[in-house]
Amino acid sequence: MSSISRLAALIKEDVNNEESSIISLYGKLLNGWYKLVVWFGIPFMVYILMSGFY
């Protein structure tokens, strides 16, 4: 149980830090997912729109 509380304290300390590695990691992941959705979503929407005309 003490290891869980120690881990929680480390995460809390990192998140409260000015240059948090966890928050920057989440930011990079969100940017990556956004780009992935956009680049795969545009061709999919074109496909859906084109299939509606046939």
User: Is the pLDDT assigned to residue 53 strictly greater than 80?
Assistant: no
pLDDT at residue 54, rounded to an integer: 67
31 vs 13: CA distance, rounded Å: 24
pTM, two decimals, is 0.65
The total number of structural domains that make up the chain: 1
pLDDT tens digits along 23-48:
999 999 999 999 999 999 999 999 99
23 vs 43: CA distance, rounded Å: 31
pLDDT tens digits along 1-14:
789 999 999 999 99
pLDDT at residue 1, rounded to an integer: 72
Q: Which structural domain, as residue segments, surrounds residue 43?
A: 2-51
For 18, residues 6+ apart whose C-beta sits below 8 A from its C-beta are none
What are 8's two structure tokens? Answer: 């929680």
Helix 21-51 with 2-16: angle, nearest 10 deg: 80
